[in-house]
Structure 1
Amino acid sequence: MDAGVGITEPINGGPIHGVAVVPPGLENAAASELTALGCRAVSPLLRAVRFQSDLAGFYRLHLQARLPFRLLRQLAHFPCSSKDELYDGVQRAVDWSRWLPPGTSFRVDATGTAPGLNHSHYSALQVKNALVDLQRQQWGARSSVDLDDPDLALHLHLGGGEANLSLDGSGGSLHRRGYRAAMGLAPLKENLAAGLIALTGWDGSVPLADPLCGSGTLLIEAARLALGLAPGLGRHFALERWPDFDPQLWQQERQAATALALASVDPLPPIVGMEQDPAVLEQARSNAKAGGVAEALDLRLGDCRDFQPPAGPGILVCNPPYGERIGERDALEPLYADLGRMMKERCSGWSLWLLSGNPELTGALKMKASRRIPISNGGIDCRWLHYEIR
């Protein structure tokens, strides 16, 4: 290999350079989470957080981090200003006999651009061609491409005259915890819900309530956090098939993640949700049971206008409908007005955090937000609004 290419193939015991892909608006919250989990050189980017870790720490992130979609481990970086430079750089990047022997399946995803490489599909194809051509030359055989469950998931990012080639340790998206078979009409992704809870500062010491709880994702993620239920314990990861996978180290981190729940012995305050649709409420109860928090949640059937909070003060969280479809906005305005009226009448001394995708509707609350945090929810430009209810 040519040292001038900028090889960063991991050396045993050396630092892992990684990137966590996170929901837009949660970069700083994710950076705090990664720091708390032992990462170094943590730096928020756009929709991502750069970090350094050791192998144990990288395993820990997969098991315990609640906010990322994916965790990428840099394999190599090299100059790239043309398709030929990408092709050559990939072939020289690492010892592919170790990372991708012909019997190993793989997939390539690509982001970013470089001269002559303006389409992610074409860039990914160039990486694939470089790898299978090299395999044919060296072994007379090539790996198969598996888009669904590859042994090695490669991620290419182009930008700034460089190519960064990484391994995706996650496999499927990390937001899928495995507990949510049942969903409402517009469910929050689990990692976004966990990030919104983190932004409220709720730590399990005061009551938490959602008067429009839907399928329960906000409350379930909050309860799982407070009870120390690590999000990655119930699944398998792509990194378990890597050539440098350390089963003993992995088992140590799994045991440490499992022990978090055993350390959470303090009783939780009330965590209350209300939903007016019996079918959706049943979904929430099913999700809470699958998520291991059914006993911690008080999920009630009823209209938010009739909501009675537990003894407070505490924190209200809410993701009401935004009125995306024509005609819905006029119908929703009375709901927001009634919601604001109910909170002012019954929730004095509480804090409210509300996810707004429609500032006109939020205005019907007749309340003034003290914080407005930009958040993207499924491509919708939203604000996570904080109100102190007087």
Structure 2
Amino acid sequence: MSKFFVTCARGTEEVTAYELEEIGADAIEIGMGGVHFEGDQDVLYKAHLWLRTANRILLPLRSFQCRSPEEMYDNLVKFKWETFLHGDLTFAVECTISGRNSITMNHSHYARLKAKDAIVDRIREKTGDRPNVDTDHPDVRVVLYIRDGVCTLNMDATGESLHNRGYRSRHAEAPLKETLAAAILLLSGWDGETPLVDPMCGSGTLLAEAALIASNTAPGLLRERFTFMNWPDFHAPRWEKCVEEAKDAQVELPDNFLFGFDQDRDAVKQTEFALKVLGFEDKATITQAKFEEFQRPEGMEQGFLVMNPPYGERLGDEEGLVPLYKLMGDT
């Protein structure tokens, strides 16, 4: 059993904890902006497949006093990086500093460079090779949290954030992250069986996440790679078993299940694109229409309405939204 920490949007920790419970995680403890849990490889793999509200899963390795860059270097250079970094694998270091630290440990960029030097020096000493850095798409990602003079060393099991499902158009503007959309749906009381309507669908995030939930599709099936696949203990047959179980758990959506409306033609196209990528285009009806023209879809006896209305991106926008919110209430 290993200890992990899964990050998520603040305010959604309880939903993420529930999801972890559903996949069999142990010792679940809610923190700020994430959830601690314990589990074996199967739990780690299932977490990457099934968690809808998580951003990233970290494996904490150790914590140590970190009152200066030199002290951090001395601790990191002792770690057996050759266990994780071998062959042609690339790496990157992320560093977040908060709380009260010494004046020499208040710059995350410098701390990140010092950590990189420690890793490179250790690998060079033990293997004679120099590992390459790839800040965009590294094979191994090291995450450091420095708070109040203590550094926690983590390995990132995920890589690219789990909110990047891969169904968005490159041109889509989406202020609502996929993980947050999933959390809204899971908190809303929607049963996953009642037809769902979004009268302000935008680029279709809520509709796409609703389709994944109702069809019991594991969002991780949309991804091909995670960084834990580069770890020395990665067990490919066990991973493939978890993938096959997730595929077998999918169910067919009924016809006329999703309805989206938006006054912007580009938004309608983006929603249609997302649902087509997911394979649900024949289960949805997307219409270009103004909100005040919204009508109950024909033949619908019961439905569930959810939407992400404009909320004012800048201070002072709120006054201009008053007529819209009044219209929403009247409609």
TM over 0.5: yes
Q: Which residue of 1 aligns with 2:235?
A: 246
| 8 Å Cα contact 1:205/1:269 also seen in 2 | no
Q: Which residue of 1 aligns with 2:27?
A: 41
Cα distance between partner residues in 2 of 1:319 and 1:298: 18
Q: Which residue of 2 aligns with 1:296?
A: 283
Letter in 2 for 1:242: W
Cα distance between partner residues in 2 of 1:249 and 1:45: 29
Unaligned runs of 5+ in 1: 1-14, 343-390
| 8 Å Cα contact 1:156/1:163 also seen in 2 | yes
| 8 Å Cα contact 2:17/2:29 also seen in 1 | yes
Q: Which residue of 2 aligns with 1:105?
A: 90
1:219 correspondence with 2:204: no
Q: Which residue of 2 aligns with 1:363?
A: none
What is the CA distance between 1:84 and its match in structure 2?
2.9
Question: Alpha-carbon deviations, 1:42-83, whole Å to 9, x = none?
Answer: 112121111111111101111111111111112333343333
- Distance change >3 Å, CA 92–CA 325, structure 1 → 2: closer
Cα distance between partner residues in 2 of 1:147 and 1:174: 18
Question: Alpha-carbon deviations, 1:294-340, whole Å to 9, x = none?
Answer: 12222222121121224454432111112335875454322221111
Cα distance between partner residues in 1 of 2:230 and 2:246: 20
What is the CA distance between 1:246 and its match in structure 2?
0.7
Q: Which residue of 2 aligns with 1:135?
A: 123
Cα distance between partner residues in 1 of 2:150 and 2:315: 45
| 8 Å Cα contact 1:224/1:293 also seen in 2 | no
1:134 match: secondary structure: helix
**RMSD (Å) for aligned C-alpha atoms:** 2.2
Q: Which residue of 1 aligns with 2:70?
A: 84
Letter in 1 for 2:274: N
1:165 match: secondary structure: strand
Runs of 4+ in 1 over 6 A off after TM superposition: none
Q: How do 1:55-74 and structure 2 match up within 5 A?
A: 55-74=41-60
Q: Which residue of 2 aligns with 1:151?
A: 139
What is the CA distance between 1:143 and its match in structure 2?
1.0
Cα distance between partner residues in 1 of 2:105 and 2:315: 40
Letter in 2 for 1:23: A
Cα distance between partner residues in 1 of 2:316 and 2:66: 50
Cα distance between partner residues in 2 of 1:331 and 1:186: 21
What is the CA distance between 1:201 and its match in structure 2?
2.4
* Structure with larger RCO (C-alpha < 8 A, sep 6+): 2
Cα distance between partner residues in 2 of 1:121 and 1:234: 33
Could you tell me which of 110, 120, 123 is aligned with 2:108?
Answer: 120
| 8 Å Cα contact 1:272/1:298 also seen in 2 | yes
What is the CA distance between 1:117 and its match in structure 2?
1.6
What is the CA distance between 1:145 and its match in structure 2?
1.0
Unaligned runs of 5+ in 2: none
Question: Alpha-carbon deviations, 1:121-145, whole Å to 9, x = none?
Answer: 2222221111112223333332111
Cα distance between partner residues in 2 of 1:140 and 1:49: 39
2:229 match: secondary structure: helix
Tell me the TM-score normalized by structure 1. Answer: 0.77
1:233 match: secondary structure: helix
Q: Which residue of 1 aligns with 2:151?
A: 163
Letter in 2 for 1:282: K
Could you tell me which of 181, 204, 209 is aligned with 2:197?
Answer: 209
Question: Alpha-carbon deviations, 1:212-262, whole Å to 9, x = none?
Answer: 11111101101111101211113211111112111111111111111121x
Cα distance between partner residues in 2 of 1:277 and 1:109: 39
1:199 correspondence with 2:184: no
Letter in 1 for 2:4: G
Q: How do 1:307-386 and structure 2 match up within 5 A?
A: 307-310=294-297, 311-325=300-314, 329-342=318-331
Letter in 1 for 2:115: V
Q: Which residue of 1 aligns with 2:273?
A: 286
1:41 match: secondary structure: strand
1:187 match: secondary structure: coil
Number of equivalent positions: 325
Letter in 1 for 2:186: A
Q: Please, which moves more after superposition, 187-196 or 267-276?
A: 267-276
1:178 match: secondary structure: coil
| 8 Å Cα contact 1:182/1:284 also seen in 2 | no
2:19 match: secondary structure: helix
Q: Please, which moves more after superposition, 265-274 or 283-292?
A: 265-274
Letter in 1 for 2:184: L
What is the CA distance between 1:102 and its match in structure 2?
6.5
